Amino acid sequence: MNLLTVLMQAPAPANNGAMMWIMLIAMFVIMYIFMIRPQNKKQKELANFRKCLEVNQQVITAGGIYGKIKEIEDNYVILEIDHDVKIKIDKNSIFADASSTITQSK
């Protein structure tokens, strides 16, 4: 029965190769538009944010530490996380601005 159904199938169209290339190109374009381009844009924004860091700016690190920048060097930042508690972190581990999320406790 299976052999009979295989033999009775219609032959494949001759331009199958061209259709495959069109589908591959379309998939790449869709992937670029929805995945690659937004990721590149996000990386550029993050790099620009890290270039514009300022002293006394409140930030969040990639590890989730909230703090205030006390000193900026070429590759690292001194971050004050509490009164007289300072840590030295890599500049690339600063993830976001925390000015609107941190509430000052007295």
**Tokens at residue 97, please?**
């601005």
Enter the pTM of the model: 0.65
For residue 6, is pLDDT > 70? no
Backbone angles phi, psi at 78, to 5 degrees: -95, 120
CA distances from 96 to 10, 15, 25, 58, 82 (A): 59, 52, 36, 9, 18
For the chain, give the mean pLDDT.
85
Q: What is the pLDDT of residues 46-83, one digit of tens each?
A: 999 999 999 999 999 999 999 999 999 989 999 999 99
Q: How far apart are CA 104 and CA 97, in angstroms?
A: 15
